[in-house]
Structure 1
Amino acid sequence: MKKILPLTLLAALCAQSAYADTTPSQASNNGFIADSHLDLLFRNAFIDRNYRGNTETRDEWGQAAILNFTSGFTQGPVGFGFDALGQYAVRLDGGWGQGGGAGIDFFSQNQDGQSKNDLEKIGGRAKMRVSKTVLSYGTQAPVLPILNADSSRLLDETYTGVMLDSQEIDGLDVTAGHFTAEQQKSSNKYNSGLHALTFGGASYQFNDRLSGSIYASNVESVLSKQYLGMTYTQPLAPEHSLIFDFNGYNSHLNKGYAESQDTGRHNDIWSFATSYVAGMHTFKIAYQQSTGSTGYNYGGYGKNGGVGDGGNSIYVSNSYWSDFNGKGERSIQLAYSADLGKVGLPGLTYDVAYVTADNIETAETNNGHEHELFNQIQYKVPSGVAKNLKIKLRYSILRVSADASSYNVGGNEVRVFVEYPLSIF
């Protein structure tokens, strides 16, 4: 990894799958008002974590409404626009003694230990477009392997700063930015401890079978990170194919930050997955390995000693409740997915996966173990009044050996999410 990633930086302009081209050309520009959209998402979310050992059970339940306004661009060689985001949530359960789960993060807690009853957040960004290049400043929600704002909880994580996205060449998406604040999912405070984060990279769709991406980031006084991803699809027959997927990170922690965390400074983590698609069925096997003097560090908030680079910034195959990213950890996954729409149940899918891991290094052992059984069923209404209403039920069983308890805590987790998007105009 040390040799591969620096070399691939030289090929940044030939950079996992390319992101959709969402930057319209000037020829298709209908103006600031005509191309504007206002969307409302209702999200009801519940997470229950029944930990094993001495850790108390944590659960939180809330109802959210997320309003997203996206403007078009003014006409002319240089177009201008403005986007706005409003988020509101009310707590339905998870008060005294139940809320506050670090990995749940629905509602932050007051000084008396009581979770907030409700939460509101607003943001906006100004944007400018020339051809297929957009420069924006304000509230941002990047979706990148090295900086992925977490949208998997009740409210969304956001950042503040400048971001550039260019899609001038077909299939190539170049992204760069500099952020100076991070807004925690469960809090309405402007910054949760980020000083500065700079990032850049590109994704490229070589053809209809092969895509790749390369990115790098630097979180001031915390770490620097590089990412390389490749995906290749080999058709075999109608509705049959093989998919090969590689993801890898190289991370280097700042000396002061590593000392504050009492850990080493370097990590390489990579995964390789092979999936066989046969009609409604997908079978997957994946191997993942973490090496170096520390585990893979990501997410968290600076005020709590976290990295601050987004709660979803871990694009590896074996990532469910556990991310299997401990120091020295190696894991293997067997998974199965079914698209039941192909047997007369449109919108219904089922996923199950089992991941087992060993070689976790802690102060107590050089061979800690963990394993997880993941189950998820999801239904998305395909038509009618409730079209696009999505219901997701997820159940995970995670077990961690006692000598690896300083790295991770096992238990049983239940997630119930109901989302209903509405397009107002």
Structure 2
Amino acid sequence: MRHSPVPRHSAWLLGCACLSPAFYAQADFLDDSSVVLGLRNAYIDRDFKQSDAPRSRIGSWTQGFDLRLSSGYTEGPLQFGLETSTQWAYRLDGGGGRGPDSVIPYDASKGEQVRDYGRTGVTGKLKYSQTELRAGELRPRLPVAYIDDSRQLVTTYQGAMLESREWAGLTLTAGRIDKIATRESSNRERIYLMNGANIRRPSDGLNFAGATYQFTPDLSATYFYGQLEDIYQQHYLGLSNRWALSADYTLQTELRYYQNREDGQALYGEIDNKSYGAMTTLKTGGHGFGVGYQRMLGDSAFPLFNGYAPQPWLVNWSTVGFFKANEGSWQLRYDYDFAALGVPGLKFMTRYLRGSGIDRGNNDLDQNVESERNFVVSYVLQSGALKGLGFEWRNIDVKTRYGSGRASGVDYDENRLITTYTWKF
């Protein structure tokens, strides 16, 4: 039996009908996309004051770029999306003789920092209702894993992370991280512990899960569990509260607790660490007056990832860190937002931190004392063609004394001048 051919116009209409769902889904995928380019110009200079320092100064002047492309989601109950990022930094100064500075990778064979470095990453997104799965490059800000954007290239991780907000006030998070790309590296590597001896015993990965519950707009609680396989198990518990004392005064309080113990094969031996921290800040007008206390208990320092990966969930986290075995530390902090005087975008912060009682064993380094003082002035343009252009000056003064203050340790004065701008296309 002979069949009549389908007319061309009918075939075209049939093709459009078949492709239209994909077309509209792709339209949402593209129409909701964004392209963001972050620029950072950073001058960092650390001037060592102690006479026996290996180098008198380290630092660099660099220009960094962070290009991030993010798609929208396809239509339907199960939605797909994609993100890519490209980070690149270029050294603007000579770099010779300055030594490694934790910003630009250091080429020991040439005795200088490399000229440039960079990396790329891809993240796949899968979304259903209020639950999202991200796989590939991750930039978490969690109590168990945190990025570092204090220098040039941002510390990133490789793995998968699930976040769900299906229930009002409750955020559930779980995931696994296989590798880390540290702030001064183009490469991804397995996670090991930062340690003075630079002993590298990498873990197969970090497994984590946690929850945050918002009881009221001003009160929330967080719990997280992390397992860096064959190295440590970690528990975190935090409480955040904002209390309106009156129409003009508020009191912000952060309470944070960590417990760290060895896991599995214990690649770094026994880990015995607990951390208690409290930070409270009184705010009125543009002023903020803060006081904090943190105590490390146990025979071990707080375990940190390789590559200077930070742990800002510790209330006294800073350049020094104040995370050493048995260390007790406190801080006094003052902030001022000049928007209260009619100058929005201008801010000032200063703080002083001091740690003591550090247990380094029965030797001349035992019971050392360390302190840090910060001054930070920042300004962000609020209007005009360059709205969002930011400037920051940060001064960091660090002093270390060993043997209850009888011997001098690491002393340095550091200045950072940072200019930032973000283009949204």
TM over 0.5: yes
In the alignment, structure 1 residue 45 sits paired with structure 2 residue 38: no
Secondary structure at 2:403 match in 1: helix
Partner of 1:24: none
CA contact (8 A) 2:399 2:409 kept: no
Structure 1 residue 170, shift from structure 2 partner = 2.2
**Which one-letter code corresponds to 1:185 in the other structure?**
R
2:268 aligns with one of 246, 254, 258: 258
CA contact (8 A) 2:89 2:118 kept: yes
The separation in 1 between residues aligned to 2:185 and 2:94, in whole angstroms, is 16
Partner of 1:60: 60
Larger-Rg structure? 2
In the alignment, structure 1 residue 244 sits paired with structure 2 residue 253: yes
Partner of 2:240: 231
In the alignment, structure 1 residue 295 sits paired with structure 2 residue 301: yes
Unaligned runs of 5+ in 2: 1-25, 192-201
Unaligned runs of 5+ in 1: 1-28, 302-309
CA contact (8 A) 1:82 1:125 kept: yes
Aligned residue runs from structure 1 range 25-424, under 5 A: 31-53=28-50, 54-55=52-53, 56=55, 57-93=57-93, 95-101=95-101, 104-109=102-107, 111-191=109-189, 195-254=204-263, 256-259=266-269, 265-301=271-307, 311-363=309-361, 364=363, 366-403=366-403, 409-424=410-425
The separation in 1 between residues aligned to 2:73 and 2:408, in whole angstroms, is 48
Secondary structure at 1:32 match in 2: helix
Range 387-396 or range 358-367, more displaced: 358-367
The separation in 1 between residues aligned to 2:324 and 2:87, in whole angstroms, is 34
What do the CA deviations read for 1:244-283 (whole angstroms, capped 9, x no partner)? 1111211123564334xxxx52111121112111111110
Secondary structure at 2:268 match in 1: helix
Aligned length: 382
The separation in 2 between residues aligned to 1:370 and 1:110, in whole angstroms, is 30
The separation in 1 between residues aligned to 2:155 and 2:247, in whole angstroms, is 40
CA contact (8 A) 2:134 2:162 kept: yes
Secondary structure at 2:31 match in 1: coil
Secondary structure at 2:30 match in 1: coil
CA contact (8 A) 1:33 1:72 kept: yes
Range 407-416 or range 376-385, more displaced: 407-416
CA contact (8 A) 2:382 2:388 kept: yes
Distance 1:190 1:372, change over 3 A: closer
**Which one-letter code corresponds to 1:295 in the other structure?**
A
What do the CA deviations read for 1:66-122 (whole angstroms, capped 9, x no partner)? 101111110001101110001111011362331313xx3333435433321111211
The separation in 2 between residues aligned to 1:170 and 1:312, in whole angstroms, is 31
The separation in 1 between residues aligned to 2:36 and 2:288, in whole angstroms, is 33
What do the CA deviations read for 1:349-408 (whole angstroms, capped 9, x no partner)? 100111122111113355321122111111111111111111111111111103389998
Secondary structure at 1:59 match in 2: strand
The separation in 1 between residues aligned to 2:409 and 2:289, in whole angstroms, is 28
**Which one-letter code corresponds to 1:60 in the other structure?**
S
Structure 1 residue 419, shift from structure 2 partner = 0.8
Q: TM-score, normalised by structure 2?
A: 0.85
The separation in 1 between residues aligned to 2:144 and 2:404, in whole angstroms, is 27
The separation in 2 between residues aligned to 1:408 and 1:298, in whole angstroms, is 22
Range 177-186 or range 328-337, more displaced: 177-186
Distance 1:228 1:109, change over 3 A: farther
**Which one-letter code corresponds to 2:40 in the other structure?**
R
- Percent identical across equivalent pairs? 28
What do the CA deviations read for 1:21-76 (whole angstroms, capped 9, x no partner)? xxxxxxxx982112111100001112222223322221122101110111111000
The separation in 1 between residues aligned to 2:97 and 2:103, in whole angstroms, is 14
**Which one-letter code corresponds to 1:258 in the other structure?**
Y
**Which one-letter code corresponds to 2:316 in the other structure?**
N
